[in-house]
A and B are shown apart, each in its own frame.
Chain A
Amino acid sequence: MKIIVLLRRLIGPPGRPEPGLLGACEAAALRAAVRLQAACPGSSLTALAVGPPRDDAALAPAAALGARTVRLWNLALEGADYDAYARAIAATCRLLKYDLVLCGERSAEEGLGVIGPATAEHLGIPHLSAACDIAWQPSGRLRVERGEGTAARRLEAAPPLLVTVAASCAVGERLAPAGAGGPVELFDLDKIGLLPEELRHRQRFEGTVIAPPRPRAEILPDVATLAQKLRESR
């Protein structure tokens, strides 16, 4: 079984300190990928990041766990929207070969939840989103449980498949601090068969980030006052 996990380094807002390495969803996806690899002997794990050199750090935890690590970058992706990234990821996955692609359900910064499903679309494979539990079935199919509002739902599908993993997914062990791992392989667009022109136009669809003046929270004196406010807001 060839497993690919998509990782990306957290990006902080302008002028703020660097946040942690991985978002909660990406960390959960990596934990799940390691567990699924271990549960299927003979499987391989590749961690893939699409980003500039700073994203090598996001691959370090996977490298320390023995995963092959690949980073793809081209300036045509700078400021491009989800679709350019999904196309690039899909093309890289095809090159690497895969049975299962895992990624975080949504990034902590943007929270769109779009990269996984869009990548599945460009790969032409089914996707399951927001997995909070994930395991192989004896049949070789993958069982995924997801929360749906106030309920839960259990689904299964056979690879090839893409699964987005929720931050609440508790599958796998806590990630150890990054140790030594193999070198990161660097891919460019020509290696995956894409041209910059195919992606660059998507920079128009990403919108503009601004920092509007924001009112600060109303500081309440105690929990009882908050409870009262919550009752009033119903």
Chain B
Amino acid sequence: MANVLVYAELAEGRPSTLALAALGEARRIASAIGATVYAVLACAELPRYGDDDAIALLGRHGADKVILLTAPGLGRPTLFATHGPAVVAACEQLPPALLLFPSSVGGSDVAPRVAARLGAAFAARPRIDISGDNVVLSRPVHGGVCERRLAIEDIERPVVLTYDGPAGEPCCDGDAEVVVLTAPPVQPAIHELPLEGGAQAPVPPVRVVLLIGRAAIPDPLERRLRALGARVVVDGVPWEAPHSAVVVAVQTDPEHPVFQQARFGLLGEPADVMERLAGALADAAA
């Protein structure tokens, strides 16, 4: 039986929402193709085994088994340098057909390098379509004008992907079996420095992505919008919309290609529309 592995990234000691979302998707895929779902839990110390703890939560969200690796360095935020070796160790013990990472900053740092280590195919934030036991990964390219599709059954390599989606409800009643593996020692060549004055101010999560083609808007306006949860994207800038965000196109010409990439559109000079939108978002936030 094939193995589907999910990296169970922790946030505040609990599996993150994105990790649970990836796990739920892994469960859906594994049920279709007849695979076993393993959640890879790499943490600094052994978790508790209470009803509401990490292992129980992973079991309720679809893990058949939890691969547990502990080492002191695994308490740090996720980077390949800190958590990659543990994930690779899990893959060596239980070679995956499919390996899912939450599409977090940490998951996006670890996933591509693990993919290269495994010689795997890689997809970032694909839509996952299942028909019978066929699994097809589709993701937008060229700003959503085209899609790149990869059928998993067509390749004889593992597939690594990052996943972004809403966490579903718990789907399983049974407890996940725990498999304890030895975590490789963490000797990262990368060190964390304290953030003193001058560090970037936190920005709110992105709620709306504004596509404006090749237009330009003033930097202060762009910063105001960012502080209000709106991200402005011009041509040439890679972008991805969080699953909870709304994509809006703004241009003067209704035939402009950006209107093919968005859910909503506004006609007008982008700078003018952005100015009015910043006002409306500020009013709504007040």
Contact = CB atoms under 8 A, between A and B. Distances in A.
Whether chain B is bound by chain A comes out as yes
Interface of A: 10-14, 16, 19-20, 22-25, 27, 81-83, 86, 105-114, 116-118, 120-122, 126-130, 132-133, 143, 145-158, 167, 204-212, 214, 216-220, 222-224, 226-227, 229-231, 233-234
A219 B256 CA distance: 12
Given A127-B113, A151-B202, A205-B150, 11 more contacts: A16-B145, A111-B140, A111-B240, A121-B113, A121-B117, A147-B105, A155-B193, A157-B190, A207-B148, A210-B147, A217-B262
A223 B155 contact: no
Nearest to A111: B238
A102 to B, nearest CB: 16
B239 A111 contact: yes
19 contacts: A23-B236, A81-B122, A105-B238, A106-B238, A111-B124, A112-B124, A113-B124, A114-B112, A118-B112, A121-B117, A126-B81, A150-B203, A154-B193, A155-B193, A214-B261, A217-B260, A219-B259, A219-B264, A230-B281
A20 to B, nearest CB: 5
Interface residues of B, number: 81
Main secondary structure of the interface of A (DSSP, over half): mixed
Interface in B212-238: 214, 234-238
Contacts of B273: 223
From A22, A146, A216, residue with most partner B Cβ within 10 Å: A216
A14 B204 CA distance: 36
A8 to B, nearest CB: 12
B141 interface: yes
Interface in B131-158: 137, 139-150, 154-155, 157
Given A23-B236, A111-B239, A145-B199, A223 B277 contact: yes
B205 interface: yes
B195 A126 contact: no
